[in-house]
Amino acid sequence: MLSVPTLWTVFVVNFLALGLIWAYVTRSYPKFAAARFWMASAFVGAAGAVAALIGLFVMSAVPLLIGGAGIIAASCFAAMGIQRFYDRPVSWRFMVAASALSLSAVAFFKFGFDHMPLRMLCYTLGQSLPLLRSLNLLLSPPEGRASPGARLSGIVIIAMVATFCSRIVGNLLGYDLSAVAGGQNHAVMVLGLLFLSMTLNFGFLLMAMDRLRNEVADLALLDDLTGVANRRHLLQRLTEECARSGRSGAPFSLLLIDLDGFKTINDTHGHAAGDACLKHFTLMAQTRLRPGDMLARTGGDEFCIVLPSSSLREAAAIARRVLEVCRQDAAGCTGSDIPIAISIGVAQWDRDIGEFPDRLMANADHALYAAKKNGKNDFAVYDPAPPLSPETVETMRKFA
């Protein structure tokens, strides 16, 4: 035999434990805003369960009403945590209005016109509507495919709403499944909701872990100073582009960029000024790139720009645009401003490069050397030496 007061006590302990877990997550990751709402959901739910437990012992409707308010508020905070997880604005007005209307209706059908099925219907709507409003974010997130944790949370919310609906149907059929009536039916339902609430928070934890893991993965592929892709990310992208071009035969191009006189800037103005120049150049270059182009810092004062589906002519045009924005910025420098000059080497993928991005980078480096040799602050296009004609080869053999 299941004891209803014992199950509600377990409910309280469960919510308190979950609240402590989310409090630890909130303290460890202050920028993870969703954890604060899920922590509030757990603690408010625990307070509501305590009030409901008191109501069961003293057989009073007022503590039960307060407990219902706590459970509804817990559902609202859980839904708001989902909204914040996906960087959506929190709808405080909707949550407050839904909770107030639900509780007002519950109070009316208890003290004004005592009708248990309608009272349970209003209570169920207060619990279900906030969660259902956030269900679409879990199952169809804005960024595309839902994570395993989000799918689990969505499935659990559907199961919880189905449990609430079965409670309504049971009440309409004449079975009193309220907390006041108690009984084994109510105990089984409390046990099921206890399991679902734990599983829902486990889904939230999986969502948090997946988000944090993705952030760590992104940091491993980004340059700490400028925020653009680092050398590892560049090599991954070049490998992908080489493989794609190898299959389709469509070209792509690469720009290799070097800041002229960067060592002098560091020696004269200090490394902080040099870092500021690197950041400034990054911002300028990004204004001249297209969607899909990737700017990467390969180390020191060297940068690369991957130009997918771009011919050598198109890459040269983009190199000219990047060069011109730097020249215009340098012409407008006054006082303590530090002008930035760059040299660019341009190279295009071909069949000889195949799936070896280091060959493409070597070609771009060869062009960069030519640009510096021509006086810097310019760009050069890699132009491989044309193959020797048969007559030339035969002549070389005669003089050999």
Parallel, antiparallel or unpaired: strands 342-348 and 302-307: unpaired
Residues 6+ apart with CB under 8 A from 113: none
Is the pTM higher than 0.85? no
Residue scoring higher pLDDT (49 or 321): 321
Supply the mean pLDDT for the chain.
85
Q: CB atoms < 10 A from the CB of 191, how many?
A: 15
Q: Edge-to-edge, what's the strand order for the sheet holding 294-299? A: 294-299, 302-307, 253-259, 342-348, 379-381
Q: Where are the alpha helices (DSSP H) in the chain?
A: 4-28, 33-58, 61-85, 92-107, 116-139, 148-172, 183-220, 231-248, 262-269, 271-286, 312-331, 357-373, 390-399
Contact assessment for residue 245 and residue 251, using Cβ atoms and an 8 Å cutoff? yes
pLDDT at position 104 over 90 = no
Q: Which of 32, 40, 129, 25 is nearest to 87 (CA)?
A: 32
Q: CB atoms < 10 A from the CB of 374, how many?
A: 12
Rounded CA-CA distance 19/13 in Å is 10
The DSSP secondary-structure symbol of 354 reads: T
- Which of 75-89, 99-113, 308-322 shows the lowest mean pLDDT across its residues? 99-113
Rounded CA-CA distance 340/144 in Å is 40
Instruction: Give the DSSP per-residue string, 210-263.
Output: HHHHHHHHHHHTB-TTT-SB-HHHHHHHHHHHHHHHHHH----EEEEEEETTHH
Q: What is the pLDDT of residue 385?
A: 58
Tens digits of per-residue pLDDT, 190-222? Answer: 788 889 999 999 999 999 988 888 877 777 788
The pLDDT of 57-74, averaged and rounded, is 82
Q: What is the pLDDT of residue 31?
A: 86
Q: In DSSP terms, which residues pair with 391 in a beta bridge?
A: none
Which strand (E) or helix (H) includes residue 346? strand 342-348
Contact assessment for residue 157 and residue 187, using Cβ atoms and an 8 Å cutoff? no
As a whole number of Å, the CA-based R_g of the chain is 33
Q: Tell me how far CA of residue 346 lies from CA of 233, 278, 307, 313, in angstroms.
A: 20, 20, 10, 10
Tens digits of per-residue pLDDT, 238-257? Answer: 999 999 999 988 889 999 99
Two tokens, residue 18:
């979950």
Tens digits of per-residue pLDDT, 318-341? Answer: 999 999 999 999 888 877 788 899
Rounded CA-CA distance 123/318 in Å is 62
Q: In DSSP terms, which residues pair with 294 in a beta bridge?
A: 306
